[in-house]
Amino acid sequence: MKKILYLFLILSLSIGAVSCQKMESVNTDPNNPVDVPSNMIMAGTEKKIMDYVYDNWFSGRQCLVYSQYWAQRNYTEEDRYQIRESVNNNYFNQLYTCQANLNKVISLNTDAATAPTMASYGNNNNQIAAARILKVWLYQVMTDTWGAIPYSEASKLNEGVYYPKYDGQKDIYTDLIKELTEAVAMIDESDVAFNGGDRIFDGDASKWKKFANSLKCRLAIHVSKVDSNWKKYIAEALTSGVFTSNADNAVYKYSTTAPEQCQFYRGYFEDSRNDFTIAKPFADILKGQADTLNAKTHPWAGVQDPRLPIYTTPRNGQYFGMPYGIPSSSVKSAMRNAAPSWYANPPLCISADFSVPLMTYAELQFILSEYKGFSAAEYEAGVRASIQYWSGLNGTTVDAATLESYISAVTGTVNAETVALQKYIDLYMNGTEAWTEYRRTGYPTQILKPGEYSYVSGGTKLQFTTLSETKGDIISRVKYPTNESTLNKTSFDAAVANLQDKTNNYYSKMFWDVRTTATPHPANK
């Protein structure tokens, strides 16, 4: 009898064990594995960052319109600084999710328990360095959008930090430069960073190193008006190695294959939103046309930029831009019909496989020109590299005679304004950086300020008017999202208390923006 009971017990336990194994199998999602290779986390995070930063909301309705590259054809509220809170909340959250994913790549390659396995996907230190470099790039975008943000205590939920403090921009910048310096020191150029999945540099550790040093130059120029060490940072980067040609450009390579297409393309041709076109101020700059409505000059009046037919497309054989910053009720069919319809005649920037630029060799050359007291050699190299890069993307190379003629026309005077304006032209589609550069330098002066005239028709002048207070200039920052006021209230309140007027507003300046009415274009330290 005991033997029978014993056999019954063993059988029951066996059935139970099998049942548990089946239940575990049922509760395992084969499409979302628990253990994901670090290179695939990096690949997914790169795409998520690019999809969020370079899309028809964060870029299309924010940074590209703030820098007045684009204007909306139908609903102009975002152009006039009426920001949708749901969108602001979403981007704030999603970009921090991306930071957390980059931290995961770092931890997997740092933890002694997982690092040996992760080494199968690329050199551990190189993976860590690449993740740190991309973190810096993204944090720069974030802090230059909102100002002081959670940084030193961010992504520490697992450590019990539920309400991270907001770090000041000065402290954030100091640490970002330190992060780049340390990341560069980790890189072993004889080995790969990733053996698959990296859509920015295809795992090339040497190019990640050059990107880090070039990015250090960008951060240094940002603080050049407030930090006397800025030249030291650039000198360190140059010694270590920066971009040397367009072949080094940091670009994210999209594909024509769904769902890997560029978000600008998806906005037009999948969401069917024909909302955007080139803005009149930018179109006029490219056409060499002075802003007579506001009595503004053009340094190369009458000289058409060879990038004009690359950046936009004509309508009825003419290049016109959409009037910027006017009320939706004032947008007339005649304006829409004059500006190009990119839905019907798309330019390069909304092609499915458009390569989104994070930073280019041309941008670096303009930085180095400023670093060397607005040197002519680096300035010319920047103009040349920019035209060669952009013309190469759409398969239509600007012929040598046109290139040399344009360079001759724009290099007669090299100063703060001409360097900044050519840098602005080159930064097209990188609205985050162009917006930062305007706030730092006050250039280009062709950008419309609130109250200036945007359009004239039949003797009636329409002004650029805002829907939020910006104190007479273009928007200085994006407000903190409302979710933060409830989910992280103590830290949020402390951050707001440090803003101008102690309110969550659009006009409090970045710490590196020291422009005043008396000194609209301040000199570097």
pLDDT digits (tens, 9 = 90+) for 422-464: 999 999 999 999 999 999 999 999 999 999 999 998 888 999 9
pLDDT reported for residue 460: 86
Give the phi and the psi of residue 389 in degrees, each rounded to 5. -65, -50
pLDDT reported for residue 100: 96
Residue 8 has pLDDT above 80, yes or no: no
Residue 515 has pLDDT above 60, yes or no: yes
Residue 7 has pLDDT above 90, yes or no: no
DSSP 480: P
Please tell me the least confidently modeled range out of 47-51, 177-181, 395-399, 515-519: 395-399
Beta strands of 409-520 (E only): which ranges? Answer: 453-457, 460-463
- Hey, what are 204's tokens? 């090339």
pLDDT reported for residue 157: 83
Residue 22 has pLDDT above 80, yes or no: no
Residue 29 has pLDDT above 80, yes or no: no
- CA separation for the pair 452, 296 (Å, rounded): 11
Strand partners, 457: 460
DSSP 447: S
Residue 313 has pLDDT above 50, yes or no: yes
Q: Which residues of 96-118 are buried (b: 16+ CB within 10 A; e: fewer)?
A: bebbebbbbbbbbbeeeeebeeb
Cβ atoms of 191 and 491 closer than 8 Å: no
pLDDT reported for residue 9: 35
**Average pLDDT of 404-418?**
98
- CA separation for the pair 241, 148 (Å, rounded): 30
User: What distance separates the 2 farthest-apart alpha carbons in the chain?
Assistant: 109
pLDDT reported for residue 30: 54
| CA neighbor of 511 nearest in space, from 523, 524, 499, 520 | 499
- Hey, what are 501's tokens? 């007027």
With vertex at residue 282, the alpha carbon angle to CA 278 and CA 286, rounded to the nearest 5 degrees, is: 105
pLDDT reported for residue 16: 43
Give the HSE-up count for residue 381: Cα atoms under 13 Å, Cβ half-sphere.
19
| CA neighbor of 504 nearest in space, from 489, 523, 524, 515 | 489
DSSP sequence for 296-351: ---TTTT---TTHHHHS--BTTB---BPPS--GGG--HHHHHHS--TTTS--GGGS
Using pLDDT thresholds of 50, 70 and 90, give the confidence band for residue 158.
Answer: confident
Q: Which helix (H) or strand (E) holds 251?
A: strand 250-253
Residue 1 has pLDDT above 50, yes or no: no
Give yes or no for a cis peptide into 30 (omega within 30° of 0): no
- Hey, what are 157's tokens? 């939920």
pLDDT reported for residue 117: 98
- pTM score, whole prediction: 0.93
- Hey, what are 38's tokens? 């670090």
Per the model's pLDDT, the better-predicted residue between 482 and 33 turns out to be 482
Cβ atoms of 133 and 211 closer than 8 Å: yes
pLDDT reported for residue 459: 83
pLDDT digits (tens, 9 = 90+) for 236-270: 999 999 999 999 999 999 999 999 999 999 999 99
- Hey, what are 149's tokens? 């943000």
Report H helices in 67-168. 85-110, 115-118, 124-146
- CA separation for the pair 205, 130 (Å, rounded): 8
pLDDT reported for residue 457: 82
Q: What is the dihedral of CA 369, 370, 371, 377, to 10 degrees?
A: 20
Which positions ≥6 away from 274 have C-beta within 8 Å?
73, 268, 341, 342, 343
Q: What is the dihedral of CA 407, 411, 412, 414, to 10 degrees?
A: 170
Give the HSE-up count for residue 416: Cα atoms under 13 Å, Cβ half-sphere.
13
| CA neighbor of 59 nearest in space, from 148, 131, 141, 139 | 141
Residue 114 has pLDDT above 70, yes or no: yes
Query: What is the distance, to the nearest Å, from the Cα of residue 417 to the centroid of all Cα atoms in its chain?
Result: 23
DSSP 427: T
pLDDT reported for residue 27: 53
- CA separation for the pair 201, 344 (Å, rounded): 33
